[in-house]
Amino acid sequence: MKITIDNHDGLGAVDYSARLCTEKPLQIKRALNEPSLLAAMVDCSDGSMIPVRGARVRVLADNGVVLFTGVVATEPVAVYAGAGLTGAVYRSALRAVSEEWLLNQLGMTVGGAGYAQNSGQLLEALVTRVDSAALTSAGTAGTVNVGVFTPQPAQSWSTNAGALAGSAYAAYRVLDGALAMQTAGGNHHTFAVGDGTLNPAALTVSEAKEFANDITLTGEMEPSDYVTEYFLGDGTTSAFEMRHTPDAKKTTLVNDSFNLGVFNKQVWSVNDAGSHLGFAAAGLLLNGGNGYDGQTTLAAMDQVEMGGALVFEAGAVQLSAGSDGVLCGVYSGTTSVGNCFAGYRVRQSGGTTTLISLVNGSEVGTPFAIAAGHVYTLRMRLHCVELQRVRQAYYAMVAGKVTQFGGGMVDAPMSIVFDLQDNGLASSTPATVLYDGTVNTSPATCSFVAVNSANLLGTIGYIRATQNGSGWVTSTPQGAAAQTRLIGAAGEGVDCNFSSTKVTFYAGKIPAADELIAVNYRMKQRAVARLADTASIPLQTAAGEPSTARWMGSVRTPAARSSADCESAAAAVLSFSTDRTAAIAGRYAAVNLQQSSDVWPGDLIQVMCDGGAGSVQAIVRGVTIADGHCAPEVLSYEISFANDWAEALSMKLSTTVAADALLPVSAAAGPAAVLPNLQQMKLTAYCGTTLQMDAGMDAPTGGGFEVRRREGDFGVGVDQDLVLRSGVRNFTIPRAAQFEEYFVRAYDGSTPPAYSRFSSVVGVDIPVS
């Protein structure tokens, strides 16, 4: 074994092999999706060549295999070794960490979320986000997609990288400055007990968890019922209180005032070969482009999940004559006008710089002529009743193959409003709405490109993008068409404020008499699922055991954001918890494995027993290598291994369930067979005795729409709270009081009928007279 240390003293990498102390053999510890560690003791009693913190360490086997590269993470400790001819003798105990330690020192920032993206690309983005050239990342391609991944800024880079790799059923490692990641089990090692090079006594197999075929899992808080509350204006009432607590959490996606003099590489990806984007006293400087669409861009690093109430804002905008491009665009695909789902198109019209709304690549709405020297605030508001557009994905090893459970996108319509405010006028000046409309289908994720400049000229004071929960307000004046009521802070020229308890309209924006107000939002509940493997029940019964063996817990990572995600996680757990040989863990010892094929965590190890008649197969979780100080070289390997039920790789589980979860009474045989939720149900007309409803979709085959006065009692034969069942899309609900509430779900003709997962709630506060 050869160890070299570069102390950054100008001498380069110095060979310390002869200085290794036999009383504490050099040891390397490799752990799955964690930094590798090295511990050694060197003799520097002559006072020279004492390793320093930050020194680079490299360890090679005699056959040239690189066993470890890293950095001395702490100052070596002087260890008393005795007395010599010249006095006390000390050794230097050093500890080194693989090179991702350098990225850990830089810290993480908020952001880096990934939605249905390749895990290798997301891992490369984590490197880019810390703006470090310490690692290359050419070996991260070819891994699977993750569902939803959100780095934790309070955690280190390596912790986030390990969580990302784990969620993709993969293993990452850093060696010789190169970051690599591959699907677990990609490297396969087969060993035979008793062939003279292995130690059979070191192989231990133990039952880490018991067999389970009935799994209950809880997850995070999820959006649940779709609520629309209807109020009738009287010309004076400004505040309208809601019956339920909406999901009104506000999350900042991007917020940059461009006052650093350089682009924040943890926020933006800049494509600007012609140096057309820069900085001025007023903020971001737009100084033209190369004349082509999509070639001079300022794009957010992270994708945007197109759910809930989103606001994209460009403030203190000044545009000069000749400008051409797109501002605040969200794109489904590459950055081009044709792929722009929504954005502000800037172009010339008759010698005037004009703003016009861009939706699905086409210009819509009312053009707005920019006045020379005026400063504007541009806002683009998007609202989707679905807050979560991407399902989580979980992975498990099934019959030797990595199998995905869950994943996919959620289809949904989206409302879109473009409004701008002229900041040269009074702060109370109402915003001008350029477009107010709805599209029936929308992308689940988009890239946010703040600037797409063919030839944009001017300045932008700030760019801000926020997710403001689920609230959306519309109103319909008597005899007029419905209009979106703009939500925001006083002074922004908007109509109202949306809180967790009420909607408050500002002076001058109070609904008129008989104006119908519709307040839309989502409720919240704990995500939960219970699944059973029915195929194993007869086998259990035949063996004289109880037909079901239950296990309950919570999903820690990847986050189960919905009950559908909990179902996917439970299905993944059942794929290995019902295999009686799956819950094994153990250790295996051998020597000089580096001579044939070095073993790393994430590799698949198969130990052949009984002359090949039996074997143990599992994923390597850790490897400890110890130098035997021998010639020829003897390196002792101790390998820890486990299967998924003993130690799940793709997910982290806890043995506790959320206290606020409503646990299912019975287990389903698989993910719930549910009908589409009524995302677009609305009130079309009303009078003192009836509510005319449009379900927003046609009735399912053999079924229709079930209306009840309370939640939770849907099903055939439960009639206590039943109001009606309708077999057609448009139906009438009878009413007798000013304050009423109804819960509606679709159902089909199957036995038993399938229902929508969540109710659409109609709440009315409308006088009956």
pLDDT tens digits for 388-426? 999 999 999 988 889 999 999 999 999 999 999 998 765
Q: Pick from 135-149, 290-304, 427-441, 567-581 the range whose average pLDDT is largest.
A: 290-304
**Does residue 85 carry a pLDDT above 70?**
no
Lowest mean pLDDT among 72-81, 402-411, 561-570, 634-643: 72-81
**Does residue 195 carry a pLDDT above 80?**
no
Mean pLDDT score, 204-219: 79
Mean pLDDT score, 305-332: 97
Residues 158 and 94 reside in one and the same domain: no
- Token readout for 575 is 């794929």
pLDDT at residue 134, rounded to an integer: 81
Domain around 355: 251-384+412-469
pLDDT at residue 538, rounded to an integer: 81
pLDDT at residue 87, rounded to an integer: 66
Task: Identify the band that residue 136 occupies on the pLDDT scale cut at 50, 70 and 90.
Answer: confident
The dihedrals phi and psi of 338, each to the nearest 5 degrees, come to: -65, -25
Say if residues 161 and 126 touch (Cβ distance below 8 Å). yes
Residues 527 and 452 reside in one and the same domain: no
Residues 355 and 416 reside in one and the same domain: yes
pLDDT in tens, 607-634: 877 655 567 788 999 999 999 888 888 9
Lowest mean pLDDT among 265-274, 545-554, 658-667: 545-554
- Token readout for 224 is 């649940």
SS3 370: coil
Residues 306 and 450 reside in one and the same domain: yes
Q: With respect to residue 607, please indicate whether it lies within any of the assigned structural domains.
A: yes
Residues 458 and 424 reside in one and the same domain: yes
- Token readout for 469 is 């929960």
One-letter amino acid at 421 equals: Q
Better-scored residue on pLDDT, 123 or 460: 460
Residues 541 and 556 reside in one and the same domain: yes
Q: With respect to residue 396, please indicate whether it lies within any of the assigned structural domains.
A: no
SS3 content of the chain, % helix, strand, coil (to 5): 10, 45, 45
Q: Last residue of a domain, which of 644, 672, 700?
A: 672
- Mean per-residue pLDDT of the chain: 91
Smallest Cα–Cα separation from 760: which of 701, 699, 668, 695? 695
What's the distance, CA 396 to chain centroid? 19
Residues 281 and 429 reside in one and the same domain: yes
What burial letters (b/e) apply to 174-193, b meaning 16+ CB within 10 Å?
bbeeebbbbbbbebebebbb
Q: With respect to residue 164, please indicate whether it lies within any of the assigned structural domains.
A: yes
Mean pLDDT score, 512-528: 97
One-letter amino acid at 127 equals: V
Rg value, the chain, Cα: 32
DSSP code, position 722:
E
pLDDT in tens, 416-469: 999 999 987 655 678 999 999 999 999 999 999 999 999 999 999 999 999 999
DSSP code, position 317:
E
Lowest mean pLDDT among 105-109, 336-340, 351-355, 656-660: 105-109
Q: With respect to residue 480, please indicate whether it lies within any of the assigned structural domains.
A: no
Q: Last residue of a domain, which of 672, 690, 723?
A: 672
Say if residues 640 and 202 touch (Cβ distance below 8 Å). no
pLDDT at residue 81, rounded to an integer: 75
pLDDT at residue 689, rounded to an integer: 94
Q: With respect to residue 427, please indicate whether it lies within any of the assigned structural domains.
A: yes
Lowest mean pLDDT among 26-30, 137-141, 506-510, 598-602: 137-141
Residues 440 and 570 reside in one and the same domain: no
Q: Last residue of a domain, which of 140, 155, 183?
A: 183
What distances in angstroms separate CA 637 from CA 79, 98, 288, 308, one per listed residue?
27, 19, 61, 52
Smallest Cα–Cα separation from 73: which of 54, 56, 59, 58? 54
pLDDT at residue 196, rounded to an integer: 46
What's the distance, CA 469 to chain centroid? 17
Cis peptide bond prior to 246, omega within 30° of 0: no
pLDDT in tens, 694-720: 999 999 999 999 999 999 889 988 888
Number of domains in the chain: 5
Smallest Cα–Cα separation from 581: which of 614, 542, 621, 535? 614
Residues 612 and 712 reside in one and the same domain: no
**Does residue 82 carry a pLDDT above 50?**
yes
Q: With respect to residue 393, please indicate whether it lies within any of the assigned structural domains.
A: no
Residues 465 and 326 reside in one and the same domain: yes
Q: With respect to residue 333, please indicate whether it lies within any of the assigned structural domains.
A: yes
Give dist(CA 563, CA 100) in Å, integer: 36
**Does residue 533 carry a pLDDT above 50?**
yes
Residues 421 and 326 reside in one and the same domain: yes
Q: With respect to residue 287, please indicate whether it lies within any of the assigned structural domains.
A: yes
Residues 640 and 705 reside in one and the same domain: no
In the chain, pLDDT over 90 holds for what percent of residues? 71
CATH number at residue 735: 2.60.40
One-letter amino acid at 507 equals: A
